[in-house]
């Protein structure tokens, strides 16, 4: 009775094949965009990727069980001298500080990250001719320059302009491959002659129509207005049914990140939602009869309690209901390649 990610495998793989080209580096990190990293590694190899990118050193595939041992693995999180890192000639490190360029072992395969308007990691453009960097280029195996751009408000045109400016500054120091994120694939040639695009969401989740999530109905109980339910013994607001469905906090259901609201409308929606939450009312991601249903109380670890009014016929135990979740923050019990 699981929480299942259903994948129209033919449609999904059609999208992968139509999106990927040799200039794209597939990214597999975190929860593997809902699919799991091991599955994404296998899919990337199947369509010919010779380089993959992961988020951290803990995500580097083990060569004895999940890797063919032939592909290169770029680690996006920056190398630090206190980290334990895999001793593999296939691993390409990202270095984002001058001091770390001095500390990283000689001969290491290195991408040097340049600071962008993201302001997350990187060596500033004004430091690209620093003596420490110039000396390091002769003791490492230089694999190119890394540029990671923001999403959203700046837009792709702003990212492209910034990429062109930083690419020129970096390539004037040392020619090499440019490894970029969040730039349109069709614009890579406008940045430089040798550009690789790291792609995760646009690749694996680019065709949402190929994906659907369904939860199993575990129990159905009729209730009368005013009766108490759940751990917190809240009173129900009317006659109806309590549905117990698979999917809880252990799966990521009902967990939220800080809002990214930017427009006035988005902020108003966030404020209204916050007011409902403060009143103990929260819409669930579960949909029944075409409508999102209310949580009866906050989700449990592996299941959720929903309130269904008496005007709606309840599904039967064993039926499945749809839900809308963030794939990057949800752990599914099963991925079904339909």
The 10s digit of each residue's pLDDT in 206-221 is 999 999 999 999 999 9
Share of the chain above pLDDT 70, in %: 89
Report the range of poorest mean pLDDT among 45-54, 129-138, 279-288, 305-314.
279-288
How far from 83 is each of 58, 80, 103, 238, CA to CA, in Å?
10, 6, 12, 56
Q: Write the pLDDT tens digit of every residue in 228-269.
A: 999 999 999 999 999 999 999 999 999 876 656 555 454 443
Q: What is the pLDDT of residue 267?
A: 46
Q: What is the pLDDT of residue 261?
A: 57
CATH of 209-337, one of 3.10.28.10, 2.40.37.10, 2.30.42.10, 3.50.50.60: 2.40.37.10
List, for residues 283-313, the tens digit of each pLDDT value: 999 999 999 999 999 999 999 999 999 999 9
Radius of gyration of the chain (CA): 24
Query: Residue 65's pLDDT band (boundaries 50, 70, 90)?
Result: very low
**CATH architecture for the domain at 10-206:** Alpha-Beta Barrel (3.20)
State yes or no: pLDDT of 13 exceeds 90.
yes
Residues 6+ apart with CB under 8 A from 17: 47
- Report the pLDDT value the prediction gives residue 273, as an integer from 0 to 100: 45
Percent of the chain with pLDDT over 90: 85
Give the confidence band of 152 by pLDDT, cuts at 50, 70, 90: low
In the chain, where the domains are located: 10-206, 209-337
The pTM (predicted TM-score) of the whole model is: 0.89
How far is it, in rounded angstroms, from Cα 293 to Cα 299?
Answer: 13
**Cβ partners under 8 Å of residue 230, min gap 6:** 296, 297, 305
Q: Rounded distance, CA 239 to CA 88, Å?
A: 62
pLDDT on residue 70 = 75
């Amino acid at each position: 009775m699981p929480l299942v990610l259903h994948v129209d495998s033919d449609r999904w793989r059609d999208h992968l094949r139509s999106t990927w080209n040799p200039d794209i580096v597939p990214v597999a990190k975190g929860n593997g965009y809902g699919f799991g990293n091991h599955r994404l590694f296998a899919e990337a190899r199947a369509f010919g990727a010779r380089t993959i990118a992961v988020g951290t050193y803990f995500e580097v595939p083990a060569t004895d069980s999940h890797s063919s041992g032939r592909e290169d693995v770029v680690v996006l999180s920056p190398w630090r001298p206190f980290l334990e890192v895999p001793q593999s000639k296939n691993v390409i490190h990202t270095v984002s500080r001058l001091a770390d360029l001095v500390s990283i072992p000689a001969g290491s395969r290195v991408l040097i990250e340049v600071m962008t308007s993201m302001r997350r990691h990187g060596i500033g453009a004004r430091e690209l001719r620093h003596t420490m960097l110039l000396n390091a280029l002769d003791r490492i195996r230089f694999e190119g320059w890394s540029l990671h751009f923001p999403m959203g408000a700046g837009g792709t045109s702003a990212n492209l302009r910034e990429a062109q400016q930083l690419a020129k500054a970096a390539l004037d120091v040392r020619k090499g491959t440019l490894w970029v994120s969040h730039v349109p694939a069709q614009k890579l040639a406008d940045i430089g002659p040798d550009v690789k695009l790291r792609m995760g969401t646009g690749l694996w989740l680019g065709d949402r129509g190929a994906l659907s999530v369904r939860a199993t109905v575990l129990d159905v109980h009729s209730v009368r207005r005013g009766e108490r339910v759940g751990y917190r013994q809240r009173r129900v607001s009317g006659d109806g049914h309590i549905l117990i469905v698979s999917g809880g906090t252990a799966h990521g259901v009902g967990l939220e990140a800080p809002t990214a609201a930017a427009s006035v409308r988005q902020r108003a929606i966030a404020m209204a939602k916050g007011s409902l939450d403060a009143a103990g009312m929260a819409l669930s991601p579960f949909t029944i009869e075409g409508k999102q249903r209310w949580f009866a109380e906050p989700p449990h670890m592996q299941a959720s309690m929903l309130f269904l009014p008496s005007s709606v016929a309840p599904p039967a135990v064993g039926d499945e209901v749809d839900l809308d979740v963030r794939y990057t923050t949800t752990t599914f019990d099963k991925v079904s390649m339909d």
